Amino acid sequence: PKFVYAFAEGNKDLKDLLGGKGANLAEMHNLGLPVPPGFTITTDACRAYLHAGEEPTGLREQVDAHLAALEKRMARQLGQPDDPLLVSVRSGAAFSMPGMMDTVLNIGLTDASVAGLAAQADDERFAWDSYRRLVQMFGKTVLGIDGDLFEERLEAAKQAKGAATDVDLDADDLRALVGEFQDLVAEHAGVAFPQDPRTQLDMAVRAVFASWNGERARLYRRQERIPDDLGTAVNIVAMVFGNLGPDSGTGVAFTRDPATGQPGVYGDYLANAQGEDVVAGIRNTVPLAALEELDKTSYDRLLDIMRILEDHYRDLCDIEFTIERGTLWMLQTRVGKRTAEAAFRIAAQLADQGLIDADEALCRVTGAQLAQLMFPRFAAIGEDSPDGPTAIARGIPASPGAAVGRAVFDQATAVAWAARGEHVILVRRETNPDDLAGMVAADGILTSRGGKTSHAAVVARGMGKTCVCGAEDLDVDARARRCTAPGGIIVAEGDVISVDGMTGRVYAGAAPVVPPPVVDYFEGRITADDDTDGLVAAVARILGHADRRRRLRVRANADTGPDAQRARRFGAEGIGLLRTEHMFLGERRKYVERLVLADSDDGRAAALDALLPLQRQDFAEVLEAMDGLPVTIRLIDPPLHEFLPDLTDLSVRVAVAEALGDPVGEERELLDAVRRLHEQNPMLGLRGVRLGLVIPGLFAMQIRAVAEAAVARIRAGGDPRPEIMVPLVGALRELALVGDEARTVFAEVSAESGTEVAFPVGTMIELPRAALTAGRIAEAAEFFSFGTNDLTQTTWGFSRDDVEASFFTEYLDAGIFRVSPFETLDRGGVGRLVALAVAEGRETRPGLGLGVCGEHGGDPESVRFFHDTGLDYVSCSPFRLPVARLEAGRAAV
Ligand code: PEP
Ligand code: MG
């Protein structure tokens, strides 16, 4: 098999094979852009290597051939003593995993060739600095030696010299460091640093392959839901040097601002440096615009190339480049990560420019991104508002959002505190891939060094986490677990701070948060035209297209008039789940207690009579808010014990009262009832339709309340469209009995009121037996609504109330699932039951209405499944409605 591709043989669509970096290097090469010569080893080779533990047959020969071609083209050989060809060995998977895998630069330098490099470059210091970097990177990534050991030596050398940065170390200092680093290698790896260039190359390639399974890479993939079996490609590219003096340098550029999406010149540049220095945020960079003064020719050329790339990819591109003594080289490009806000603006702008059509614009944004735009942000805080929280520092707004939490200064504390439910902000001088677990755990990330392209910024944006970086006024002392702001203000571990990813401001204390403009727009408080920065207009435009495209209707899960009104503003086309039990809580609990305690028909009737007008009023309000739209009212569902006092509390109360000789008559009765109704597995016990069949009159009361509320609405000139939904049905007969009861009540209310009323009666499908017998159940059901919460619980046998906190982390770690099945529908199991019930239900009753009202109705991935399965609507919480609309639109294009 072909394991190695020359750049000329690849293109941008071969990401799976060549990785993102390799595919795009090939694409740029083919566009005639200045890419240093090189070649790519495929992900196939990586997978074969990881599987067998050794290079697949043929790989070595193919590398030989491509290396020979490269040497010929460059007219020198890898590590040639008098004029060495040096190469970089870089990982590059199909999905970008910034900083998660390994890279080794300057392969080919040895004790012999370092002199040749010095002579060729006419720069002794440069050659030893390059060699120093190679031994360090090779030691850390290929030989697995703790990177701090090298950093400590480097730091010591700087101190001995009184040097502020590594640029102040001269050739002799660096030569001495190389010696020390080689000793470190010998001591800690038990082998000498290899002096054969080809051995260096082979070892580096193997290390890059192996880094696919490194701990950080695995964690990142789980977070980003990237499959584990893809492998990485390896790019071997002739080195170009950004560290050859002041007319050299390296940088990162974006064709648009990845934080806001606005077009312009964005990026960071670092003179006399190699790429790692920028990405790791180790030295402070200058804005890209400053390059215009340093090297106008390269700057103009770079801007040209950025235009070419954006037109070619029709999207925001990010770029890594190096300038070697005034010559510009492109080291990487890709369609860049961006914030949610930028994603919407860019999609709308490219559609305006005619570069993409409306469908394409819709596909460029996701429901998850829209959800992010609906998170709260900080209220505008005046610069010196006296009673507001104090601004203590300002950095670069790298990833938007409003994070409030306790400051922590290392990743382990972040993880530990987050696990006990604390909100934390991870504060670091800069982050590196080892901080990843802490970044995942934190609500926000704050660093004192690095620009918009530092590791912290790039990773936080990818995760949708609030991040402020480069807050240089902060002196972060991770060891002492605190940082100091100007004026001597100290933030110690555990102190609450607020980090504003929009403005870059950092506050001591908790700053007040407000709804974001997108929510103000959905709420009708502003219009798309009020918007000054184009975000709301972009969302409105793309969501409008989604609404035109989608086949799925969207309904809301809402229980009260105000909720229903909000749902309507957010685009609800009805209510898919009104949970009536929410109307039994609070004040009304006592009526339910009476209902349960009643030992006679009269007592029960009295309790039901007390509840009837209350329910009627509730329903009337919701029907009014949803006038003209369907409102699916679910009869009471949860286990009775939820409405009764806690068994233990009550036992204690009664026991204490009895011991004191106090009267306990009523409490005693209640306790007996609670004991009688106590269940080991209440979610599998007396609830749902079972409750309705066991407590006579309960469902009839609710159905009557619905019918009477509808009559009142009709008399008031309204258009009420309630639907009665029965929960937890497992057998046709259960539903049939309730259906009969409903029709009796409808007839009674029609006769009493003189207004003819009759409404659809349907069922939830939330037990495996209901799904498996859906063909039968459809005989009595006018509609199905999938209760995927209970269906997931009962299909997996996972208790929905406590299992997620119990062992799901282990299950996720072990790869049993990628994401909680309570969050994203389990297609292979629960999804098959849904599909079966859809097919068999429709066979019995072709016009059967079909919807879903479990939490999955608002989950972006699951919405797509429901579209594919042919449901009529999804129902979700009001706040998720825009997300569901968007995803339903995306599913339809
Ligand atoms: C369900 O089970 O999916 C459902 C919507 O009902 P509830 O969450 O109220 O049990
Ligand atoms: Mg349910």
Residue 585 burial class via C-beta count within 10 angstroms: exposed 0-12, middle 13-18, buried 19 and up: exposed
Least confident of 421-430, 459-468, 625-634, 688-697: 459-468
Q: Which atom of ligand 1 is nearest to the CA of 790?
A: 2
Mean pLDDT, to the nearest integer, of 840-846?
A: 98
**pLDDT greater than 90 at residue 461:** no
- CATH 3.30.1490.20 in the chain is located at 4-238
**637, 683, 763: which to mutate for ligand 1, most atoms within 8 A of CB?**
637
Pocket mutation for ligand 1, best pick of 559, 579, 687, 789 (most atoms within 8 Å of C-beta): 789
Residue 353 has pLDDT above 60, yes or no: yes
Which residues crowd ion ligand 2, with CB under 5 Å?
766, 787, 790
**Residue 194 above 80 pLDDT?**
yes
Architecture of the CATH domain 4-238: 2-Layer Sandwich (3.30)
pLDDT of residue 812: 77
Cα 482–Cα 486–Cα 490 angle in degrees, nearest 5: 25
* pLDDT bracket for residue 462 (50, 70, 90): low
Which ligand is closest to the CA of 792, given by its number?
Answer: 1
Q: Where exactly does CATH 3.30.470.20 map onto the chain?
A: 249-335
**Mean pLDDT on 321-328:** 95
Whose atoms come closest to the Cα of 801: which ligand? 1
- Encoding tokens for residue 597? 């305690």
HSE-CB at 801 with a 13 A cutoff on CA atoms is 5
Q: How far is the CA of 770 from the centre of ligand 1 (A)?
A: 14
Share of the chain above pLDDT 90, in %: 70
Can you tell me the mean pLDDT for 512-529? 89
Contact 410, 420 (CB under 8 A): no
Please state which of the ranges 264-268, 288-292, 402-406 shows the lowest mean pLDDT: 264-268
Average pLDDT, the chain: 91
What is the rounded radius of gyration, in angstroms, for the C-alpha atoms of the chain? 33
Best mutation site among 632, 790, 793, 833 for ligand 1 pocket (most ligand atoms within 8 Å of CB): 790
102-118: per-residue pLDDT in tens? 789 999 999 999 999 99
Question: Which ligand has the minimum distance to the alpha carbon of residue 852?
Answer: 1
- Shortest-distance ligand to the CA of residue 636: 1
Q: Which residues line ligand 1 (CB under 6 A)?
A: 577, 579, 637, 766, 787-790, 853-854
CA 477 to ligand 1 center in whole angstroms: 49
Question: Residue 279: what pLDDT?
Answer: 55
Say what the pTM is. 0.80
Fold of 249-335: D-amino Acid Aminotransferase; Chain A, domain 1 (3.30.470)
Fold of 550-639+679-892: TIM Barrel (3.20.20)
Six-digit token pair at 559?
A: 């229980």
- Ligand 1 mean position, distance from CA 685 (Å): 15
φ, ψ (nearest 5 deg) of residue 406: -85, 135
Ligand 1: nearest atom to the Cα of 856: 3
Closest residue CA from atom 9 of ligand 1: 579
CB proximity list for 475: less than 8 A, separation 6 or greater: 448, 483, 484, 485
Question: Which one is the CATH code of 377-514: 3.10.300.10, 3.50.30.10, 3.40.640.10, 3.40.50.620?
Answer: 3.50.30.10
Q: Which positions are annotated as active-site residues?
A: 455, 853
pLDDT at 587 over 80: no
Asked if the model's pLDDT at residue 846 lies above 90, the reply is yes
**What confidence tens digit (pLDDT) does each residue in 7-27 have?**
999 999 999 999 999 999 999
Residue bearing the CA closest to ligand 1, atom 8: 789
In this prediction, residues 180-192 reach a mean pLDDT of: 96
Average pLDDT over residues 725-743: 98
Q: What is the mean pLDDT of residues 804-808?
A: 74
- How many A from CA of 884 to the centre of ligand 2? 20
- DSSP for 58-99, written as a single string: THHHHHHHHHHHHHHHHTS-BT-TTS-B-EEEEEEESS--TT
386 pLDDT tier (thresholds 50, 70, 90): low
Give the list of residues 6+ apart from residue 67 with CB closer than 8 angstroms, or none. 78, 201, 236
Q: At what angle do helices 197-211 and 43-52 cross, to 10 degrees?
A: 80
Q: Where in the chain is the domain with CATH 3.20.20.60?
A: 550-639+679-892
Ligand 1 centroid–CA 855 distance in Å is 8
Residues linked to residue 784 through DSSP beta bridges, in sequence order: 763, 850
Per-residue pLDDT at 810: 80
| Contact between residue 281 and residue 467 where contact means Cβ atoms under 8 Å apart | no
Residue 729 CA to ligand 1 center (angstroms) comes to 12
pLDDT, tens digit (0-9, with 9 covering 90-100), for 142-153: 999 998 899 999
Atom of ligand 1 nearest to the CA of 577: 5
Which protein residue has the closest C-alpha to ligand 1 atom 4? 787
Which of the 8 DSSP states describes residue 389?
P
Q: What is the mean pLDDT of residues 671-691?
A: 87
Q: Cβ atoms within 10 A of the Cβ of 551, count?
A: 13
Percentage of the chain lying above the pLDDT 70 cut = 97
Distance (Å) from CA 17 to ligand 1 centroid:
43
Closest atom of ligand 1 to 766 CA is 2
Q: Which atom of ligand 1 is nearest to the CA of 581?
A: 9
